[in-house]
Structure 1
Amino acid sequence: MSQAAFYKWRQRYYGMDATELKRLKELEEENRRLKALYAELALNLKLAKEIIEKKL
């Protein structure tokens, strides 16, 4: 592990206990899932608008 990586890790996680780290990881995973869901819904909306415009 490089020294820079260690200091970045320490800056981010220093002072957190195990429960806080677990909760952080859970929130990061939920955020990832929500971003993927949003991207899918945005794509569906774009396609629906294109279909509607072609029918008019």
Structure 2
Amino acid sequence: MKTLLSRKFLIAIVGATVVFGNYMWNWGLTEEQVWSVLTPLLAYIGVEGFADIKSR
């Protein structure tokens, strides 16, 4: 259960929702706008993953 409530997982779900929602429900976001949302989310996941690796 802890994995399903982790910040990294929830942020991944938000990113997937933006991409999926824009594709399926035509939210009208351009590719650049989608990437401007995804880039900080992916960077956060990467940095937190690196911090987790360093702490182990």
Instruction: State whether TM-score is above 0.5.
Output: no
TM-score by length of 2: 0.43
Structure 1 or 2, whichever has the larger Rg, is: 1
TM-score by length of 1: 0.43
Which structure features the higher share of helix residues? 1
